[in-house]
Structure 1
């Protein structure tokens, strides 16, 4: 009877070892879940950026307003009849 108990305890210990510390164990599964969640968040952010860029590309293809806005903001371009006025912040 004692031998059967020892064998069963050994098997139980082996099962618990496999459950907690093996490659498919609980700790590894939790680490993989965390990696999946982090990757899903990164994917969501990338989808957002892609959506914004796709909208910007569509605007650039469809109209000149976006092109004009970028030329003004990034290159400082003006129309021939415009005057550039720059205001500096008030000093106290």
Structure 2
């Protein structure tokens, strides 16, 4: 009976060691869970960015207003007969 108890205690100790410090341990599980959460947040940001880009593409395909706005903001273009004023901070 004493040997049986000793074997069970050793087996329990080995299993506990593996649970806390071995491969696929609780510590590793928590780290992996944190990485998954970070990846989910990154994916959500990318999904939002993609939606904005899709909307921008639709605007460019449909109307000239979006093209004109982009030309003004990014390229600094102005229409004929317009006067461009730049206000600089002091």
1:4-83 matches, within 5 Å, as 4-83=4-83
CA positional deviation for 1:67? 0.7
TM-score by length of 2: 0.90
Aligned partner of residue 12 in structure 2, secondary structure: helix
Consecutive aligned runs of 4 or more in structure 1 exceeding 6 Å deviation: none
Deviation at 1:83, TM superposition (A): 0.8
Q: TM-score, normalised by structure 1?
A: 0.89
CA deviation after TM superposition for structure 1 residue 63, in Å = 0.6
The CA distance in 2 between the partners of 1:16 and 1:33, in whole Å, is: 21
Aligned residues: 90
Cα distance between partner residues in 2 of 1:65 and 1:74 = 14
Cα deviations by residue, 1:3-50 (Å, 9 ceiling, x for unpaired): 222111101101101211222221111111111111101101110110
| RMSD value, Cα | 1.2
5+ long unaligned stretches in structure 2: none
